[in-house]
Amino acid sequence: MSSDKVYHEFPPVFDGNSRVLILGTIPSPKSRERGFYYMHPQNRFWKMLCAVLGEDIPADTDGRREMCLRRGVALWDVLSSCEIDGASDSSIKNAVPNDLERIFAAADIRAVFTTGKKAQALYERFFPNAMHAVCLPSTSPANRTISETEMLEKYRIIARFLV
């Protein structure tokens, strides 16, 4: 598979009430196609987040965005562009970071979470002096090394920072 130059094409989800920031690497092909975060049908992100928040999974992107804003959750990605083979985070090259400061300046972010080891490594590389991030398991369909029960237990930490 050949690498494609990919650009982040949709805005972050946040407002002045955001309390946690959840960061991925860069949107997958399915997410870019649908114009929103974690949109591969087998990605477990929305199932995990909604279970943590005690919410039903919203049917559409507007509902997902509204739920995040209402519950204090900001979403974005560490990268604004990179070269990547499909959705393979391990293939990322020539990464360019997003300007996360715009979220930190606008909201009282109390905790940062990354969705996977690659997002964590990129966050630490590009933002060494920023708030410490907690690495959560990747919700990608490619990550089958952890059960949904175990994953949910790890994701429950998010709720502590939303009260």
* Domain carrying residue 49: 4-160
The domain spanning residue 98 has which CATH number? Answer: 3.40.470.10
Say if pTM beats, i.e. exceeds, 0.85. yes
Instruction: Report the pLDDT value the prediction gives residue 87, as an integer from 0 to 100.
Output: 84
Q: Does residue 83 carry a pLDDT above 60?
A: yes
Q: Does residue 1 carry a pLDDT above 60?
A: no
Residues 2-19 have a mean pLDDT of: 93
Number of domains within the chain: 1
Q: Which of 72, 98, 78 is CA-nearest to residue 15?
A: 72
* Residue-wise pLDDT tens digits, 93-109: 999 999 999 999 999 99
Helix (H, G, I), strand (E, B) or coil at 152: helix
33 burial via Cβ count (<10 Å: 0-12, 13-18, 19+): exposed
Q: Does residue 138 carry a pLDDT above 80?
A: yes
Give the integer Cα–Cα distance in Å for 111 and 113.
Answer: 7
